[in-house]
Amino acid sequence: MSLSFAVLGSGSIGTYIGCRLSAAGNVVTLYGRERIRNELKTFGAKITDYTNKEIFLPPSSISFSYLPFERLRRRRFFSYRKVQGH
């Protein structure tokens, strides 16, 4: 059974996680900066784990968006406040 995932903030770690999920047969959309999108759409992604096993995802298999991410970046979703005693 495949699941759908959205990875917000696809830098090095987010892209790695998203590619691993995609290689496992899940539907993944990466959200991040345009620079990363351009690299992935040009070259695809080659990831390596700690055993040196390589996984290559061609550009056509990577779903990436940067517009919603840019909109999310401008909003403030969380408010932080100091909790007494911490």
Domain holding 57: CATH number? 3.40.50.720
80 within some domain: no
84 within some domain: no
57 within some domain: yes
Instruction: State the pTM of this model.
Output: 0.70
Pair 8, 14: CB distance under 8 Å: yes
79 within some domain: no
64 within some domain: yes
86 within some domain: no
Segments forming the whole domain that contains residue 22: 4-74
21 within some domain: yes
Per the structure, how many domains does the chain have?
Answer: 1
Query: How does pLDDT run across 15-71, given as a tens digit for each residue?
Result: 999 999 999 999 999 988 888 889 999 999 999 989 999 999 999 998 988 765 556
